[in-house]
Amino acid sequence: MITLVRTAVLSLLALAATGCTIPLRQARDEAPPPASDPLDARLLRCSALGPKAAADDADCQSAWAEARQRILPPPVGK
């Protein structure tokens, strides 16, 4: 009887894990939402360039600096 209960519980856990994993693995065909801020559009363009090309792009470096300023403003005393 205990073996039957264990088997049932393990089966339910396996089904639950499978049910949670399947939606995560489906391809997403949704396009990113339109950029409401010009900085967002610049950052999306840099993301599309790839890490090596974006690292050499002056506009990407400027966009990253602006994004850092928005996220981590400089201390008040500086």
Note the pLDDT of residue 27.
62
Note the pLDDT of residue 74.
78
Note the pLDDT of residue 25.
62
Note the pLDDT of residue 73.
81
Tokens found for residue 68: 């850092």
Q: How far apart, in Å, are the Cα atoms of 53 and each of 30, 32, 38, 42, 44?
A: 25, 21, 20, 14, 13
Divide the 78 residues of the chain into consecutive groups of 10 and give the mean pLDDT of each group. Answer: 90 85 65 76 92 94 94 80
pTM above 0.75, yes or no: no
Note the pLDDT of residue 34.
67
Cα–Cα nearest to 45, from 58, 26, 27, 30: 58
